[in-house]
Amino acid sequence: MLLVLGAAMLAGGLRNDEQTFNAPAARSQATMLVLAALALILPAYFQAAAGTTAAVGLERLSVSISVVLLVAYLLNLAFPLITHRALFVGTHQPDEPKAPTSKARALSALALATVGIAWMSAKSWSARSGRQRKSLV
């Protein structure tokens, strides 16, 4: 996540002299990030504190946390899209209009990305299965 944030800042800094951001949107996203981090930490902490005897309680806690996260996500969607739309209006002024990308170019980019992902997946899978064969021998 920090890699994406850093890459976005670098790309924006190369293109623009000064960057601005929407403070309410940043606060909202930071809150969601903290909730997600807590949702990852709480079950592990619960299991460490209760030991292996709390399997049923851990499952109930995990389901409860997932429901809370789902509700928080839906409310986080409603906040900028329905209730506080004016806070999230951008000040972007489009540059000169660009010609739309052709269907052929878009489909070729999609096909190239698909082939690349399939190749990486096959390479990763063959490396894993090679390790498993060595461990069985």
Query: Going along 85-136, which residue ranges are E strands?
Result: none
Question: Which percentage of the chain shows pLDDT scores above 70?
Answer: 87
Where do we find the tokens 């461990």?
A: 135
The tens digit of pLDDT for each residue in 21-43 reads 778 888 888 899 899 999 999 98
**Rounded distance, CA 58 to CA 104, Å?**
51
**Rounded distance, CA 119 to CA 6, Å?**
28
Q: Higher confidence at residue 100 or residue 136?
A: 100
**Rounded distance, CA 40 to CA 66, Å?**
10
- pLDDT at residue 66 in the model: 92
**Domain definitions of the chain by residue range:** 1-90, 101-137
